[in-house]
Structure 1
């Protein structure tokens, strides 16, 4: 009997300790679930039940129960009734997680959008696609490749789009998704953010050797003052950062607890001199978003800039960048667009910044973002990923890409005049992506 009591006591203590150490995680779990549910329902117009049962069927997140409040355009989630979090949706700004400071914030400002009515076909307009068959494409083989990839249930691919010589030659969607469905790009948003700096540079308003910490952040002493925009765009600032999405870390605290996401990285200690280490950091991207905001006299100008100078300028009319509670664009993670509009972004780079005669950024910018960053083993440029060292062994080395969580990709292959967009719910291995891209390219004669 004593042995049984002792065993039960140990189990009880174990459960109490497990609850004590994991209770804070519930805040992050319910935060993720409520935010993702609100964005998918009100921004992407998807079914709440499917988001809860399919999108949230992942470790820890599946413990959350999410509910939508249609009238107030909000969503709540909790874990076994504990740690309820609420996200609210604002047209033009997306969904934002609330906290105790939410009521104090004014969301009256929204971006001004300029969306021209056009009669042009993709990619320079939105009036359908060219239906001419290119003679150097094996369409039957390409169809087989795309269908095979889509039918692999383990890969959870939601859309595949192949553009060759500015024409869509292959396009597939899983059930419930169409050419008009907005899809979260996650960290592909980082490449959008970097492009905004390329535009400012082209306009002569900023340069990559600019040191923002003294002027923008009032840090005038210590090694942080020597960090440049170039260091930040290349993730080599030397600032400490923990990018782990499966525990309480710098990135999860920033995305699901912080009102102002632009501050998290700046407040961290510096652990190496700039360029000495390469450390992937979503906090760095949101720091860059905050620095970008400081380049404008008003909040309205900052909100308008990405749309006027990039997004609506090239007809990515479906795209929306979500903000944090302080009105900063969450440049690390929260860009939404249709698959076709993500492809337009890739084509802008394929054409070296020229969009139907309009030079959006300098041709040299492409060389800058695709130049390997020191200590990244040839895999990273400036907020873009690279194939310089042959990570994808059977694919041209000039490939570079915008990458996001769960396998979101915009692959740009200049030597083949190809852009490939893949969105999904499951991260793919390098080998899987290598096979997919190789097989697609082999359909081009």
Structure 2
């Protein structure tokens, strides 16, 4: 394949913001380097630039931080800091990429798309859609703020009902403004069919969206413990990985354990590896800490982890639990569990449902329903053969190399 000059743009650097989209973009950047392409990683940063410059170097010369901000959270617009666009244009002219691959517009200003097209009229612009922010004003969660119910499709009238301070006309104009920026994109990438369909329903031509999974790097060293099953242990070992917030469903998992009788609950141990609980609403924090106190001896909170630690941590568990209450697109933790041969217990919606096939490579339960999850966990404790069956059904996910080659073919 011909070598390409590629610019990857993300809304954060994974050294600072450890979200899935940042990690997916950075892993793709590293893989392109290994394949011999000329590639630059440009990540938006909150850090104050040295000497007021728009850009600074992060780790090496082709890893840059873009010091900008989003001023209008409704339109994702960059208003007061547009004076730095001249420096962005200078950077684009200096790099002269053949392809600019966006992994977000959030926090940079959606006009960044338009500036790239204006500066480089013939460049190919690719945009990986990682979530639903363009569609949904409720933090892109597609959850109705007033009821907490899932929403499958947006309209100006329905969005006004969720945010009465904004008129239906405001939401119509928001949609038109975002779609104007999206009109300069040559092709979109979606890591799941579910996410693709949401954007097709919103108005993007289906033929413009290619489904390409977020690949995972190979595990550098084989970990012999990865073959162990719970037959070697007296308890069923569960684990939760990722951000701890109101939408990831940790409280649903804790409620499910509390619904069990004491004898059943003593058959489980749950390790929680996650960050940012202290930044959540006080009511949610109190609920989690109260549950942890009641589940002392069964549940252990370990705090944040580094991504390179995950393979080793996964050798110590039987099941990963992904109890999110929103339409997760393509949780990287599921891919990483499967890479290590670990089956997953997940909510039965969104991209989770695409990946986790009930009683094949994991188990599913009714989203947001602690009683449904409790029933699944009780089945696990009563049927030890389920683990062996689901482990056998786990297939190795696409590697980052396979993902990179698919993206390169799209370019």
Q: TM-score range by the shorter chain?
A: under 0.3
Structure-1-length-normalised TM-score: 0.24
Which structure would you say has the larger RCO, counting Cα contacts within 8 Å and 6 or more residues apart? 1
Structure-2-length-normalised TM-score: 0.26
